[in-house]
């Protein structure tokens, strides 16, 4: 049966975004390196692959636009087009137009306004010319029109069309081997794409060649298939090129016969390799995570019930089931983990454009790209990072002239890094700019009533608290990048929703570092359960340093407030009963949990420590005017609910 390629539209978009990421990444290298032939070749191959995928899906307008980009890149490769800033701007505009075309692309969609404008820039850079190797394009009334040009496949001979398998290893080598097999039967008069492009290919290819031979179609197909990893071969002996306006895919279901008989060489075709990777819709992984979460809750309940029965065989079975559930939980969480480069790789282009917008030179460095995060969390962290990067460029890094006057390199340094810290991930945005003007922030904070009039200076914690206020900004004017007072506020809000927190360090004249501490996964976390009065609360172990008994020797008073003396270190002491505004008298035999957030530590007094447990995090909307102390809720082993304490909120004001 024939399958409409639109069924594969989402897969097409996913793979196309990978190619567009490669285009942007290598365009940046090309812009920095000038004559970087490796980067130029990588851009050319990515555009060529993107064009081929569009053509296969029947997205002809986008394919033709990509074709024109490919033509200009080929002129640069052959030295016919000089490398200029105008060229790079035109190529970046073309990359943006290609990316913008992905959302609503279809077989009937035409040229978008962005594509039209980008095409005009490409023609302006190329002086209105086009390479003879590709079909020329021109603008007519804002639309793309094909100009009649000779097709290299037109002419005498046999047209052989080949499509490689999706799991082809070393596709360039396999394609070259197929061409070599064809040459053994006669003369290869023409190819599309060129042989050089095929040999450089890193993704499975669809290509065609015109063969002058006396061999039969069966012999030609057998020779091509003997090269290996060939999914489809079509031999057209009519002597002319047959164009198709829509691609079709033939699928043979189990128990059905294919629509055409297999070739004589089918028996000799190489065995299909097992596929090592598959693409899974994220919603299915979300469903699996929800199911394993419910299973973890049920496991806790069953363990509690079986412990009360006292049956040794039942206990053994439950312990085995518990281990299997734990292994299953770990595997599902691991399957959702992806390296941060999948989000980080889009930022070099953002930094480049933002720096050009404000007239600054910025050297952007990414570190720790292989650190992994849960897929859903990684998607959410992208927006806060955009705010931090744009703020660093606009507010932090100085102009080249100001940096030179201060004895710094004219180009600022901006670093985006990721690192593991126990069960959390630290994502940092650091710049070597001017730092935050603390005096200016203090003056505006006093005027806004954020800090008391008697405050003389702001430490890093107070500084962050001020600039994270909604609408707070020290910018003298609103720019295209920042100045409206929403950047750090949006970052702080988003990260807290994700169960993390923000830290800040700034030194005037030297730069600023913003650190986002986020959990590796949001769904299931290890927590310490504590009781206060009749209520139980969960404290994520990420923030628990140690526990100890409440004793007179460790608890003292300083200026009328209880403090914890721990190994010659004095820590502030909080009472969870007071924090949650729970009445009643404190119990005897209380215990202390030492909690930490970044480099800050504090003691938290609770009535009783119950133990550790894997908890399933359930997000909830806090009631209006309620306490902003909780990051979610969970269901305990006995079926009762418990609130998850947002440890970061306990440090506010301390």
Cross-strand bridge partners of residue 527: 540, 613
Alpha-carbon gap, residue 578 to 284, rounded angstroms: 43
Q: Single out the catalytic residue among 48, 60, 67, 387.
A: 48
Helices (H) and strands (E) in the chain, counts: 19, 26
CA geometry: angle 412, 418, 423, nearest 5 deg = 155
| 3-state helix/strand/coil string of 574-621 | EEHHHHCCCCCCCCCCCEEEEEEECCEEEEEEECEEEEEEEEECECCC
Contact 612, 506 (CB under 8 A): no
Q: Single out the catalytic residue among 64, 67, 123, 391.
A: 391
Helix (H/G/I), strand (E/B), else coil: 565: strand
Cis before residue 193, ω within 30 degrees of 0?
yes
Cross-strand bridge partners of residue 139: 144
Q: Single out the catalytic residue among 70, 99, 221, 380.
A: 70
Determine how many CB atoms are found less than 10 A away from the CB of residue 448: 12
Identify the DSSP state of 389. H
Please say if 391 is a catalytic residue: yes
Alpha-carbon gap, residue 490 to 565, rounded angstroms: 37
Bridge pairing between strands 511-519 and 501-507: antiparallel
Kindly state the greatest CA–CA separation across the chain: 102
Contact 613, 300 (CB under 8 A): yes
Please say if 99 is a catalytic residue: no
Please say if 331 is a catalytic residue: no
Contacts of 177 (CB under 8 A, 6+ apart): 227, 228
* Chain-centre distance for alpha carbon 134: 35
Token pair of 77, please? 């490769």
Token pair of 270, please? 């190489």
Catalytic residues: 48, 70, 391
């Amino acid at each position: 049966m024939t399958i409409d390629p639109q069924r594969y539209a989402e897969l097409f978009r996913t793979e196309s975004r990978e190619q567009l990421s490669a285009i942007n990444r290598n365009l940046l290298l090309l812009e920095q390196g000038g004559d970087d032939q490796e980067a130029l070749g990588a851009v050319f191959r990515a555009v060529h692959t993107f064009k081929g995928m569009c053509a296969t899906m029947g997205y002809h307008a986008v394919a033709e636009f990509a074709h024109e980009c490919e033509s200009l890149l080929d002129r640069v490769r052959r030295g016919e087009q000089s490398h200029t800033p105008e060229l790079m701007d035109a190529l970046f505009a073309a990359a943006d137009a290609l990316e913008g075309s992905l959302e609503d692309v279809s077989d009937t969609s035409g040229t978008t306004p962005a594509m039209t404008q980008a095409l005009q820039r490409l023609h302006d850079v190329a002086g209105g010319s086009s390479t003879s190797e590709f079909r020329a394009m021109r603008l007519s009334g804002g639309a793309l029109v094909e100009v009649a040009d000779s097709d290299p496949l037109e002419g005498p001979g046999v047209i052989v069309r080949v499509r490689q398998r999706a799991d082809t290893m070393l596709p360039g080598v396999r394609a070259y081997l197929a061409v070599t097999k064809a040459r053994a039967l006669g003369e290869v008069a023409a190819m599309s794409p060129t042989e050089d492009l095929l040999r450089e290919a890193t993704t499975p290819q669809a290509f065609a060649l015109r063969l002058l031979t006396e061999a039969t179609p069966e012999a030609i197909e057998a020779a091509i298939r003997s090269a290996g990893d060939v999914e489809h071969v079509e031999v057209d002996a009519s002597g002319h090129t047959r164009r198709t306006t829509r691609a079709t895919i033939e699928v043979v279901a189990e128990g059905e016969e294919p629509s055409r008989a297999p070739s004589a060489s089918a028996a000799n075709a190489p065995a299909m390799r097992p596929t090592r990777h598959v693409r899974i819709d994220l919603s299915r992984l979300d469903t699996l995570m929800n199911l394993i979460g419910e299973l973890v809750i049920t496991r806790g309940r069953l363990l509690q019930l079986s412990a009360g029965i006292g049956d040794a065989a039942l206990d053994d079975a439950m312990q085995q089931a518990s281990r299997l559930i734990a292994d299953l939980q770990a595997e599902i969480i691991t399957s959702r983990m992806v390296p941060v480069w999948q989000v980080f790789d889009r930022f070099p282009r953002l930094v480049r454009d933002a720096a050009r917008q404000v007239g600054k030179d910025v050297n952007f460095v990414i570190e720790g790209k292989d650190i992994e995060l849960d897929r859903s969390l990684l998607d959410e962290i992208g927006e806060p990072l955009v705010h931090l990067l744009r703020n660093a460029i606009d507010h932090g890094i100085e102009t080249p002239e100001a940096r030179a006057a201060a004895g710094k390199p004219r180009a600022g340094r901006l670093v985006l890094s990721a690192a593991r810290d126990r069960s959390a991930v630290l994502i940092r945005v650091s710049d070597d700019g001017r730092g935050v003007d603390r005096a200016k922030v203090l003056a505006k904070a006093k005027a806004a009533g954020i800090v008391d009039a008697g405050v003389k200076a702001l430490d890093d914690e107070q500084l962050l608290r001020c600039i994270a206020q909604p609408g707070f900004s020290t910018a003298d004017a609103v720019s295209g990048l920042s100045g409206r007072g929403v950047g750090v506020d949006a970052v702080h809000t988003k990260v807290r929703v994700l169960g993390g927190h923000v830290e800040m360090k700034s030194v005037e004249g030297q730069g600023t570092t913003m650190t986002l501490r986020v959990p590796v996964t949001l769904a299931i976390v290890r927590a310490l359960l504590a009781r206060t009065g009749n209520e139980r609360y969960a404290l994520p172990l990420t923030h628990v340093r140690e526990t100890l008994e409440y004793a007179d020797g460790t608890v003292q008073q300083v200026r009328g407030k209880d403090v914890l003396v721990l190994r010659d270190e004095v820590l502030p002491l909080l009472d969870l009963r007071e924090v949650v505004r729970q009445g009643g008298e404190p119990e005897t035999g209380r215990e202390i949990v030492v909690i930490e957030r970044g480099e800050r530590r504090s003691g938290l007094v609770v009535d009783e420590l119950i133990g550790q447990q894997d908890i399933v995090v359930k997000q909830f909307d806090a009631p209006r005017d309620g306490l902003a102390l909780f990051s979610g809720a969970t269901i305990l082993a006995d079926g009762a609910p418990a609130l998850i304490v947002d440890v970061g909120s306990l440090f506010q004001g301390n």
